[in-house]
Chains A and B, each alone.
Chain A
Amino acid sequence: MEEIKSQLVKITFDGIEVEVEPGTTIMQAARKIAEADESQAALVPPAMCYYKPLPTSGGKCRACLVRVAQGSAKDPRPMPKLVPSCITQVQEGMVVENTTNQAVLDTRKSIVEFLLINHPLDCPICDQAGECHLQDFAFEHGSVKTRYEEDRRTFDKIDIGPHVQLHMTRCILCYRCVYTADQITDQRVHGVMNRGDASEISTYIEKAIDNDFSGNVIDVCPVGALTDKTYRFKNRVWFTKPEDAHRDCEKCCGKVTLWYRGEEVIRVTARKNTWGEVNDFICNTCRFDKKKTSDWTLEGPTKVKRSSVISANKYRADLVKKPDFALKLAATQFKNIDDSRPYVTDEDTIRHQSIENNDKANHRSLLSKNN
């Protein structure tokens, strides 16, 4: 019998070699690089629709398009078009270009423009601002100005229940909430209706979603299309303080992030990982009903990336660390102090040196004045 053991596949991503299990997607390989070395986080393709905890998600928004310069070791031809990295599986010897390829970056800029065509850009009002993936995506990859002059798509407001607020105008049709409703809840009440430009997220016949886990659509939504009604306009994300907490819950894992304004819990969300994904979904009781500190066991402040606006005005010791480039700059310019001079204590010598130094300084200032 031959030993059945999956051999690792070696691929090159932006010039960095990485070994992954066969069947891994390019996106996961890139994330593996970034998880091993945090300074490489910038080369991971952005994802608007792909959500690892939701199987079969991905491949819709085209934000993660990359170029495959070499299909595999056996067939070294490049793939003819840019491929979505979140659903393309790796092959032995594959060479992928992401940030190193200008065509990919240009395409990404256009994708931002497409996603923003019908987006209302009402960030000052939107509760998602500050933790919105589309905001980050547009900020990092988009252009400052829009070329779009036509009227943006608008929808009538639909009430989809007491807890979740649906703003269809902000939706980018990533289908994450549909997959959540399909996979987390056991009855399908929530889907995409109509086609093309007219497609919209809706619940069947405007039926309220009353499943115990329906609140998770708020967390998976990359934009502010689905937001928490109990948190509506309460405060901006960057003025609230996130704390990790847990409680014994018979329905879910009970591990959450509490968002504080002063002493008051104004929002409860599931915990998100580095990629903004929720691994442990939480139930509606934890999310909407338990809004007292006494309901929870606090674990400590949530780690917030320094680049995030949520870290603004929060003075935790590990958050006020100097940015990387300043430390690097300081390291390149570091010089040992030259203390080989003799240490003078004699008063006459000191006075004499002082006069000499004055002379030198005067001379220098004259020189600089004459020039």
Chain B
Amino acid sequence: MQLTNRSKQVSNKEMTLMERAYLPAIAQGLAITIKHFFAKKVTIEYPEVKRYLGPVFRGRHILKRDEQGRERCTACGLCAVACPAEAISMVAAEREKGEETLYREEKYAAVYEVNMLRCIFCGLCEEACPKQAVYLRHDEFVPVFSERDQVIWGKDLLVEDMNDRYTREAWTKEEARALDTKRANGEVTNVVPRPVP
């Protein structure tokens, strides 16, 4: 009975003199090995070298700031309620006079913690955020940790560094899709990644 179309007829005929001579076959095999020795490697030396995983990869979290460097997060709790793994927790505080340059809204997250052991990097927090504050970086992983206290990430690790801003070509799904179709049609060649959603 035939299960697939990939079956091959095999034969049991006698070998020719050339085949029986043994050495030509050895030389042929070595030639293949030596060819691969000089060919371009298909593997990379992870973790020293890391491969670009594309613009839609979901790596570690970042809390974005706006153009003026104010924190966008207003501690509304939607990321935490959307989180299927219950990895996010926060404590809100009221902005005081003189802090207008630090926080965008009258309420802000005084504590914002992501438990990286719980997080499943599904990106639902990013989708739930009404203030475009929390994003999963496409270019950085959560580093390997060896101690328990390295697992819970606070604002010190999460809030964006204004001197090294996180940039993206597209900040929403719709934008990314539009960019993809434009690229496919050859209308766009290079897009400058921008730091502000």
Contacts and interface: CB of A to CB of B under 8 A. Distances in A.
Contact of B1 (A123, A124, A313, A362): A362
A60 interface: no
Given A124-B105, A125-B106, A362-B3, A233 B92 contact: yes
A351 B93 CA distance: 71
B63 interface: no
Contact of B81 (A233, A309, A362): A309
B24 interface: no
A236 interface: yes
B81 to A, nearest CB: 5
A125 B76 contact: yes
B80 A124 contact: no
A192 interface: no
Given A239-B80, A313-B81, A124 B130 contact: yes
Nearest to B91: A235
A233 B107 contact: yes
Interface in B30-77: 74-77
A239 B1 CA distance: 62
A359 B77 CA distance: 57
Contacts, number: 43
Contact of B93 (A124, A233, A238, A309): A233
Majority secondary structure, A binding face: loop
Given A124-B74, A125-B107, A238-B77, A232 B94 contact: yes
A129 interface: yes
A124 B129 CA distance: 9
Contact of B74 (A125, A234, A238, A313): A125
A125 B74 CA distance: 7
A313 B86 contact: yes
A158 interface: no
A236 B3 contact: no
A232 to B, nearest CB: 7
A233 to B, nearest CB: 5
Interface residues of A, number: 19
Contacts of A309: 81
A236 B1 contact: no
B116 interface: no
Contacts of B80: 239
Contact of A124 (B3, B78, B94): B78
Contacts of A124: 74, 76, 78, 105, 130-131
Report whether over half of chain B's contact residues are helix, strand or loop; otherwise say mixed: loop
A236 B128 CA distance: 15
Interface string B84-126: 0010000011100000000001110000000000000000000
Interface string A337-371: 00000000000000000000001001001100000
A312 interface: yes
- Of B2, B76, B93, most buried by chain A (CB within 10 Å of CB) is B76
Interface in A219-259: 232-236, 238-239
A231 to B, nearest CB: 11
A225 B74 CA distance: 19
B194 to A, nearest CB: 24
Interface string A152-174: 00000000000000000000000
Given A124-B105, A125-B105, A129-B76, A238 B81 contact: yes
Contacts of A312: 81
A12 to B, nearest CB: 41
Interface in B1-20: 1-3
A219 B74 CA distance: 24
Contacts of A239: 77, 80-81
Nearest to B130: A124
A365 B93 CA distance: 62
Contact of B76 (A123, A234, A313, A359): A123
B65 to A, nearest CB: 17
A366 B2 CA distance: 9
By Cβ-Cβ distance, the 5 closest A-B pairs, closest first, are A124-B76, A236-B77, A233-B92, A125-B107, A124-B74
Given A233-B107, A234-B92, 20 more contacts: A122-B105, A123-B76, A123-B130, A124-B105, A124-B130, A125-B74, A125-B105, A129-B76, A232-B94, A233-B75, A233-B93, A236-B92, A238-B77, A238-B81, A312-B81, A313-B81, A313-B86, A362-B3, A366-B2, A366-B3
20 contacts: A123-B130, A124-B74, A124-B131, A125-B74, A125-B107, A232-B94, A233-B75, A233-B93, A233-B94, A233-B107, A234-B92, A235-B77, A235-B92, A236-B76, A239-B77, A239-B81, A309-B81, A313-B81, A359-B1, A365-B3
Interface of B: 1-3, 74-78, 80-81, 86, 92-94, 105-107, 130-131
